[in-house]
Amino acid sequence: MGNKTNGLLALLGLGALAYWKYKKSTPEQQQAVKDKINTAKDNLNKLGNDIKNKANDVASQVQSKVDEAKTKIEDSTAN
């Protein structure tokens, strides 16, 4: 439990330091930070969408294989 508390306090401290440095920086530096954050957010969204699309492709491939196997089983039992 102590490690979690220390970790959370360290994270909070880093966040406070980052916020303080951000507020003390020039408007140009603040804009650069905002641009980096927006770029990172866009990249994460793109990655998430790519993973989602890949998962949907795999799911549809699996479903088609299942349907194909069902058809083969139905054909073999009908004969």
Asked if 60 and 71 touch (Cβ cutoff 8 Å), the reply is no
pTM confidence score: 0.61
Asked if 30 and 22 touch (Cβ cutoff 8 Å), the reply is yes
Please report the pLDDT score of residue 47 as a whole number: 97
pLDDT along the chain (79 residues), means of 10: 87 95 96 96 97 97 93 80
CA distance 59 to 57: 5
